[in-house]
Amino acid sequence: MPTTGTVIIGQSGGPTAVINQSLIGVVKACQARPDVFTRVLGAIHGIKGILDGNFCDFAGEDAATLEVVAGTPSAALKSVRHKATPEDCQKVFARFKELNVRFFFYIGGNDTAETTNIINEMAHREGYDLHCFHCPKTIDNDLRVTDHCPGFGSAAKFVTQAFMGDNLDNRSLSGIKINIVMGRNAGWLTAASCLARAFPDDGPHYIYCPEADFTLDGFCRDIESTYRRLGRCVVAVSEGIHGPGGKAIIDLGEVDSHGNKQLSGSGALGDHLAEVVKQHLAKAMPEKKHRVRADTFGYLQRCFPGVVSESDAREARQAGEAAVAAVLRGEKSGSIAFKRQDDPYRIECFVTPLPTVAKDTKPMPRELLNGAGNDVVAEKIVPYLTPLVGTLPKIGQLKGVR
Catalytic residues: 140
**Please, what is the end-to-end C-alpha distance for the chain in angstroms?**
65
Max Cα separation, the chain?
Answer: 78
Least gap, CB of 309 to a copy of itself (angstroms): 12
Nearest distance, CB of residue 20 and a copy of itself, angstroms: 8
Do β-strands 176-181 and 131-136 pair in parallel, antiparallel, or remain unpaired? unpaired
Cis preceding-peptide flag for 305 (omega within 30 of 0): no
Cβ-based nearer residue to a copy of itself, 306 or 344: 306
Tell me if 188 sits within 8 A of 152, measured CB to CB. Answer: yes
Q: What are phi and psi of 242, to 5 degrees?
A: -155, 160
Query: Looking at beta carbons only, is 298 or 363 nearer to a copy of itself?
Result: 298
Amino acid at 206: Y
Cα–Cα distance, 13 to 108 (Å, whole number): 6
| Closer residue to a copy of itself, CB minimum distance, 252 or 377 | 252
CB of 104 to a copy of itself, least distance (A): 18
Provide, rounded to whole angstroms, the least separation between the CB of residue 67 and a copy of itself. Answer: 8
Using the minimum distance from each CB to a copy of itself, give the nearer residue, 300 or 328.
Answer: 300
**Closer Cβ to a copy of itself, 298 or 355, answer by number:** 298
Q: What single DSSP character describes residue 347?
A: E
CB of 265: closest distance to a copy of itself in angstroms?
3
Sheet holding 55-57, edge to edge: 55-57, 37-43, 5-11, 101-108, 131-136, 333-341, 346-352
* Entry field: residues in the chain: 402
Report the candidate in 51, 36, 204, 189 with the shortest Cα–Cα distance to residue 119. 51
> Which amino acid, one-letter code, is at 310?
E
Element (H, E) at 47: helix 47-52
